Amino acid sequence: MKIVDLDKARDLLLSGEVVAIPTETVYGLGGWINSEEGLQKIFSTKERPFFDPLIVHIDGIESAKKLTSDWTKIHDVLARACWPGPLTLIAKKHDSVSSLITSGLDSVGLRCPRHEKTLELLRSIPGGVAAPSANKFGKTSPTQSQHVYQEFGDAVAIIEGGASDIGIESTVAGVVNGRVEVFRPGFYTAQKLKNILKDAGMDVEVVYAQSPVAPGQLKHHYMPRIPLIITGPEFSWAHNQAAIETELQKTFKRPAIWLQPENPSLASRELYQKMREFDEQGFDIILTPYLPNHSGEEWLGIWNRLEKAKTLSLARK
Residues in contact with ligand TXA by CB under 6 A are: 23, 25-26, 28, 52-55, 88, 90, 102, 105, 107-109, 111, 113, 131-133, 169-170, 172, 183-184, 214-217
Residue 226 contacts which entry, Mg ion, ligand TXA, none (Cβ below 5-8 A, type-dependent): none
133 is in an annotated binding site: yes
Query: E strands, 127-284, where?
Result: 129-130, 157-158, 171-176, 179-184, 206-208, 228-231, 255-257
Residue 172 contacts which entry, Mg ion, ligand TXA, none (Cβ below 5-8 A, type-dependent): ligand TXA
Cα–Cα distance between 28 and 120 in angstroms, integer?
15
Q: How far apart are the first and last CA of the chain?
A: 44
In this complex, which beta carbon is closest to Mg ion, that of residue 133 or of residue 164? Answer: 133
Binding track over 170-199 against Mg ion, x by CB under 5 A: ------------------------------
Beta bridge partners of 290: none
Subset of residues 129 to 148 that bind Mg ion, contact rule: CB under 5 A: 133
In this complex, which beta carbon is closest to Mg ion, that of residue 42 or of residue 196? Answer: 42
- Rounded to a whole number of angstroms, the minimum distance from the CB of residue 70 to Mg ion is 26
CA 297 to chain centre: 17
Cα–Cα distance between 140 and 257 in angstroms, integer?
17
Taking a C-beta distance cutoff of 8 angstroms, is the pair 187, 305 a contact? no
In this complex, which beta carbon is closest to ligand TXA, that of residue 32 or of residue 183? Answer: 183
CA 88 to chain centre: 10
Please give the single-letter amino acid code of residue 259: L
Residue 183 contacts which entry, Mg ion, ligand TXA, none (Cβ below 5-8 A, type-dependent): ligand TXA
Residue stretches of the annotated binding site for L-threonine: 25, 57, 111, 131, 170
Q: Which residues are annotated as a binding site for ATP?
A: 48, 133, 141, 184, 222
